[in-house]
Amino acid sequence: MDKSKRTFFEYKRSFRKRLPPIQSGDRIDYKNMSLISRFISEQGKILSRRVNRLTLKQQRLITIAIKQARILSLLPFLNNEKQFERTESTTRTPSFRARKR
């Protein structure tokens, strides 16, 4: 069959319907760490709604739960391990300068 003769339906490909990330029985709560950790990046940032495939209401509830968990120290604000390391270039040593008059 020629490309110009193909119908619209022949171009359609089958795809698997994705399951929603939050089931109907899941409670969105700051104590539910297994649920909250799915919506945080490796750096500790909240992932966007498009990436999570959440509804607007679910994204708001997830954001509030993550912020509450951060305040209660259940989650870190930053997940950057290099944050507290100091290299030699950043350490200061006292230096004495000769003052010109």
| Predicted confidence band of residue 30 (pLDDT cuts 50, 70, 90) | very high
> pTM score, two decimals?
0.62
Closest-CA residue to 70 (of 44, 38, 48): 44
Residue environment code for 26-45, b if the CB has 16+ CB neighbours within 10 A, otherwise e: eebebeeeebbeebbeeeee
Burial of 52 (0-12, 13-18, 19+ CB in 10 A): middle
pLDDT of residue 1: 54
Q: What is the pLDDT of residues 75-97, one digit of tens each?
A: 988 877 655 555 555 556 566 66
* Amino acid at residue number 56: L
